């Protein structure tokens, strides 16, 4: 492989980017999650009776030069609002997060032209989430334009057709975004 020079990026981490790192890095998750799987972006939810961040993971196929293919999640988990405490970790077979899940596969091909642009899209998502999540958790604040911007950015720039699994993971959050 030729040397791939990716500039070291050291942005100031937002609350959401720290949360994303924490939800993937939780020891219980790390101990169980196959590295080959794909983990979702965390999304806020109140479905567990408290403010929490939920994520899912499932099989993924990565073939260089081809779109990422994802299948239905086989596990999901949530951390509390602070990102420190594991609220739930469950296999979908034992504790489904939805009565029915789209089996997949779905193909993910982010529109960003390169890694640097994709990183910018991630940073934009983090900024939008930093504004939206506190408002969602308190059911107040953010206006419709802000909610719509977040939904469009998440669905168009980052997760694409995998939104079919994000919606049932946090139905309350997506209903709030679309209200």
Binding site for other proteins (CB under 8 A): 1-9, 17, 20-21, 24-25, 30-42, 58-62, 64, 66-68, 71-72, 74, 103-105, 108-110, 112-115, 117-119, 122
Residue 160 DSSP class: G
Identify which of residues 95 and 141 has a Cβ nearer to other proteins in the complex: 95
Least CB distance from residue 37 to other proteins, whole Å? 6
Angle at 114 between CA 53 and CA 4, to 5 degrees: 105
Give the helix ranges, DSSP H, for the chain: 15-25, 27-32, 115-137, 144-152, 163-169, 171-178
Is residue 81 within 8 Å of residue 53, measured between CB atoms? yes
d(CA 153, CA 66): 23
Least CB distance from residue 103 to other proteins, whole Å? 6
The helix (run of H) or strand (run of E) holding residue 56 is strand 52-58
């Amino acid at each position: 492989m030729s040397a791939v020079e990716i500039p070291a990026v050291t942005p100031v981490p937002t609350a959401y980017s720290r949360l994303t790192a924490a939800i993937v890095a939780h020891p219980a998750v790390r101990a169980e999650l196959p590295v080959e799987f794909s983990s979702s972006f965390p999304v806020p939810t109140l479905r567990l009776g408290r403010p929490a961040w939920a994520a899912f993971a499932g099989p993924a196929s990565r073939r260089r030069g081809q779109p990422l293919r994802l299948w239905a999640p086989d596990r999901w988990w949530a951390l509390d609002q602070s990102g420190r405490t594991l609220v739930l970790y469950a296999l979908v077979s034992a504790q489904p997060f939805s009565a029915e899940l789209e089996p997949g596969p779905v193909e993910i091909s982010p529109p960003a032209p390169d890694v640097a642009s994709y990183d910018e899209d991630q940073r934009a998502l983090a900024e939008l989430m930093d504004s939206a999540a506190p408002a969602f958790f308190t059911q107040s604040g953010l206006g419709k334009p802000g909610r719509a911007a977040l939904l469009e950015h998440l669905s168009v720039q980052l997760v694409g057709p995998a939104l079919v699994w994000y919606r049932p993971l946090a139905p309350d959050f997506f209903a709030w975004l679309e209200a």
